Chain A
Amino acid sequence: MKRLWKIFKQGLVFENPLLMLMIGLCSALAVTTSVSNAVGMGLAMSFVLLFSEIIISAFRKVIPNSLRMPIFIIIIAAFTTIIDLVMQAYFPELSKSMGVFIPLIVVNCIIMGRVEAFAYKQKVMDAIADSLGMGLGYTWVMVGIAAIREVLGNGTFAGIQVMPDTYQPILFFTMSPGGFLVFALFISFNIWLKGKMQKAAKAKERA
């Protein structure tokens, strides 16, 4: 149990896919202009990651090494198509605003990376813990970046006006340079947080 918790925790800060591993960034920057998009993308990613890791970890003994890439793609593409169709059917508005980024989950480096580096070598339970940690680590960063960009760049939070009417939205934040700036601030924050946590862990060991 403790081991699973440790794997889960890795994805949140120490090995955060966006802030430390720095993979899967393009779609992250593109959809974080609104909080509802970020939540949708985070959940869609977590869903695909969770099920791909489970399936690949469960069948890792029968997937030949030389064939692993095409098989990974088949599995990931299948789950991505499932989530795409489900969103079109039950959340048409969200699906429209995310545009091409849902189908592009297939080639998202986070999923390919975790499947290759983790799920293909580890037990199913560990893979579940890893995918949940990575998924949550991805989602919190997405929502955090989106919150700042949407409030400053559009004056709204999840579509609800939060700034006074006189507030002139800073368009810079909805465009990619603003995205990079906020993203960089999150990286610095995460490095600071990591340092703090490591110190705290060392202090605990000594005590």
Chain B
Amino acid sequence: MAKLLLIEDEPDQSKMIKIRLETRGYQVITAHKAEDGIKLAQEEKPDLILLDIMLPGGGGEGFFENLKKSYNTMLIPVIFISAKFSPKELEEKADQLGAEGAIPKPFEPEELIAKVREILGE
């Protein structure tokens, strides 16, 4: 059973994604802030991180950088989620920064699941 770390500052969004994923059998840990996210990533060592790249205060990209810099977290795959960019823009951003995937909001539930499965190699 794969462990997923969700970093999303919108509580409603966070809750629903968590429900959706748990229904599919994933274990989901959530964080609402970048700093918490780092700590959790290091402690829990999830199999996948779902990151809202538009965390307030620019925390999203900063978090991602820290993630990739630190030895024990750099290999964890990351999927960007965001409402700010168009699908293509988000994909480009993921490509540019080196994230493994991107899901633009609003998304179809199946899109989310499919992407997660793809990255985890299921």
Say whether A associates with B.
no
Interface residues of B (CB under 8 A from A): none
